[in-house]
């Protein structure tokens, strides 16, 4: 499987066409050692049996949808569900598809661009959806830009599912984390939103002020506070590396797996947005362009 590496003086990024996956993201730590910022496999072929979307582009709808169907313009479309939940676009979603390498630029602002055509009724979704994801290196930032166009009304919610880590330690308990979110989406026992918001004050999800992650397990949709310079700030005192995340999306699902050290920052629309009229709309119509642009900024903090 073809690997594509782009680099500048701060970052080296390796991607593969399967799932448009970020396989490796190298940044130098405080000792000048190149450190991989994402959990992944050394062999591209190992991703073919991965079931947790390591580094992949997730869609057509990232996150959870309830009920096993969606209604668009009065028409109901059955979608794949398991135990009452449609997750990350269905049985395969975009994370288990081969994308087309569209463009590689190795100039002063390197980028690699992948495309995928999701056909009408793939996973139950209406409309032929043309999707592109571009990974751009700009200084010490990785910019991930998702774009989509459709020929019929549909729903779209794309994100990247990288598991970030800032050092090679066996745990992320020592990472400090700050999240610019005063509320989370309340969820039920299936992690489906109830339609209500929960203030983070006096809860374990209060990361308004920087604090250690510790033993907190997260699989939580945070409602992004608008106009904050950084949505997320995370730091490892072991490597000296700080990661900041900015996004044009209204929510960020933060997920920490129990099995290995890593943390996902899934910038996206609200999970289950098609179910709740009070949530931001996920409808994309012909003639419109969906854009999800998020920036991951790496620097060193003494």
- Secondary structure class of 273 (helix, strand, coil): helix
Active-site residue identified among 86, 88, 161, 233? 161
Tell me the two tokens of residue 102: 């569209």
Beta bridge partners of 124: none
Peptide bond into 242 cis (omega under 30): no
Q: Is the dihedral of CA 138, 141, 164, 200 positive or negative?
A: negative
Active-site residue identified among 24, 123, 233, 266? 266
146 part of the active site: no
- Residues in the chain, overall count: 302
204 part of the active site: no
Residues 6+ apart with CB under 8 A from 57: 19, 20, 21, 94, 95, 99, 114, 131, 133, 146, 158, 159, 160, 161
Backbone angles phi, psi at 54, to 5 degrees: -55, 115
Catalytic annotation, residues: 161, 266
């Amino acid at each position: 499987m073809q690997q594509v590496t782009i680099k500048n003086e701060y970052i080296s990024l390796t991607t593969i066409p399967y799932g448009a996956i970020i396989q490796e993201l190298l940044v130098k730590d405080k000792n000048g050692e190149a450190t991989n910022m994402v959990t992944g496999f050394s062999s591209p072929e190992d991703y073919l049996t991965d079931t947790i979307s390591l580094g992949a582009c997730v869609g057509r709808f990232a996150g959870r949808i309830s009920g096993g169907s969606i209604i668009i313009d009065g028409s109901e479309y059955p979608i794949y569900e398991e135990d009452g939940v449609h997750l990350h676009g269905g049985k395969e979603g975009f994370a288990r598809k081969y994308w087309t390498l569209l463009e590689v630029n190795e100039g002063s602002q390197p980028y690699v661009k992948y495309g995928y055509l999701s056909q009408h009724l793939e996973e139950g979704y209406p409309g032929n959806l043309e999707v592109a994801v571009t990974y751009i290196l700009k200084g010490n930032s990785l910019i991930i830009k998702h774009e989509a166009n459709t020929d019929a009304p549909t729903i779209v919610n794309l994100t990247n599912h990288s598991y970030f880590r800032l050092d090679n330690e066996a745990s992320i308990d020592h990472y400090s984390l700050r999240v610019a979110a005063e509320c989370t989406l309340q969820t039920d026992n299936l992690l489906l939103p109830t339609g209500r918001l929960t203030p983070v004050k006096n809860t374990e999800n209060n990361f308004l002020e920087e604090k250690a992650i510790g033993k907190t397990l997260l699989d939580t949709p945070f409602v992004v506070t608008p106009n904050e310079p950084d949505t997320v700030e995370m730091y490892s005192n072991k490597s000296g590396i700080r990661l900041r995340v900015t996004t044009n999306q209204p929510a960020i699902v933060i997920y920490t797996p129990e099995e290995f050290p890593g943390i996902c920052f899934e910038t996206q629309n609200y999970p289950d947005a098609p179910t709740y009229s009070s949530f931001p709309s996920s409808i994309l119509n012909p003639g419109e362009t969906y854009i999800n642009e998020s920036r991951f900024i790496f620097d060193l903090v003494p």
